Amino acid sequence: MNALATANDTITLPKFTGKSDAYLWFIVHATQFLKSGGRLSFVVSSAILFSDYGIPLIRFIGHHYRIRAIIDSMVERWFPDADTNTILLMLERDDDGRKRAANDIRFVRLRRPLALLIPDPNSADRRGRIEELLDTMLEAEATEDDPRMQVNLVNQGTDGGLQLAVGDNDEGFLEEDEE
Amino acid sequence: MSLSKSVDRLVTPGEYPGSNKAKVRWGQLLRASATLAEQEGKLTESSNLVALDSLGHIRGGIVTRANAYFLVREIPFDQIPARMRVTRGDMKRVAVIADGLDHVAKIEREFLKPVIKGPESLESARRQG
């Protein structure tokens, strides 16, 4: 609980488009409760990976957090009955812009179902094994050879790895979706 | 904080300078693979591949948020339940469809549009599968 902020924080609210998913505001709101070093994990819609509305959210996150890991699965849907596919965001609040910019984001794709990576809910060592797996993902080097996961490392920089346009030069940049 | 102040906060434009135009998306970074990139490079060099965007405008598909409701299949005339009370003559104007929950209904043909839900909808993909 030491990671929770106790003083009023100054967080500039991002400007999200009207097409944005409501969950964005949960992340923004949660940010004010974290001190530097506090961790935030969120299961979010995988739309953040490709949607236009995800870009302002990623910029917001990149402005307040070291983005530790983005975790997805190659082999299963974590909520098979839901219409929405999901990914896992692992964030660590950091007020130091240099540390954030120097951070490497770990893009992790699991190659095994979670049931094979962690013990069942009745197992005594379930929590420890989950934390072990988490530590492995958060410290992993880039790899395509690990049978459990593929990991790509991307520098967070000042734009969350998105390579945002600078100035008016739009050449080579992805078109905004008209939907 | 009062409700009106909360709402004011939500509509205040952010002050994160710079553009929202991205050169890459997180989805690309997540799925990037050095092995695949190497194979793609070889295939591209061999001229067996063309860039997809050279064939047409590429964009994401329509998200219905309720496929079971919007994606329907037409029921052939000889399988239409009698309770629907349609004649062969009616079939020029209306179709009898079943939605993803097998709810049967009549609909004017002008409101039916052909869609490809995904690669699995293509007959060629089914033949190869």
Q: CATH number for the A23-155 domain, one of 3.20.20.110, 3.10.560.10, 3.40.630.10, 3.40.50.150?
A: 3.40.50.150
pLDDT of residue A21 exceeding 90: no
Domain-wise residue ranges, chain A: 23-155
With CB atoms and an 8 Å threshold, state whether B18 touches A59: yes
pLDDT of A132 reads 95
A165 touching B (Cβ < 8 Å):
yes
Residues of chain A with C-beta less than 8 angstroms from the C-beta of B10: 13, 25
With CB atoms and an 8 Å threshold, state whether B14 touches A165: no
With CB atoms and an 8 Å threshold, state whether A52 touches B20: yes
CA distance B96 to B80: 7
Residues of chain B with C-beta less than 8 angstroms from the C-beta of A103: none
CA distance A111 to A73: 7
Residue B86 CA: distances (Å) to CA of B11, B74, B103: 53, 13, 17
Average per-residue pLDDT for chain A: 87
Query: How sure is the predictor about B2, in pLDDT bands with cuts at 50, 70 and 90?
Result: low
A83 touching B (Cβ < 8 Å):
yes
User: What residues in chain B have their Cβ under 8 A from chain A's Cβ atoms?
Assistant: 9-10, 12-16, 18-27, 29-35, 59-60, 62-63, 65-67
pLDDT of B93 reads 95
Residue A15 CA: distances (Å) to CA of A47, A58, A118, B4: 18, 12, 39, 18
Give mean pLDDT, residues A49-66.
92
CA distance A151 to B96: 49
pTM for this structure? 0.70
Nearest chain B Cα to A24, which residue? B10
Give mean pLDDT, residues A7-12.
62
Quick: pLDDT tens for A65-93: 999 999 999 999 999 888 889 999 999 99
Specify the residue for token string 């939907």: A179
Check if the interface score ipTM surpasses 0.85: yes
Give mean pLDDT, residues A116-138.
94
Give mean pLDDT, residues A145-153.
94
The number of C-beta contacts closer than 8 angstroms across A and B is 105
Helix (H, G, I), strand (E, B) or coil at A154: strand
CA distance A49 to A54: 7
Nearest chain A Cα to B18, which residue? A166
A63 touching B (Cβ < 8 Å):
yes
CA distance A168 to A157: 20
pLDDT of A7 reads 43
pLDDT of residue B77 exceeding 90: yes
Specify the residue for token string 């004010």: A32
Helix (H) / strand (E) containing A88 = strand A86-93
A104 touching B (Cβ < 8 Å):
no
Quick: pLDDT tens for B13-30: 455 666 778 888 999 999
Q: What percent of chain B has pLDDT over 70?
A: 82
More confident call, B81 vs B17:
B81
Domain-wise residue ranges, chain B: 25-54+63-128
Cβ proximity of A125 and A119 under 8 Å:
yes
Residues of chain B with C-beta less than 8 angstroms from the C-beta of A59: 16, 18, 20
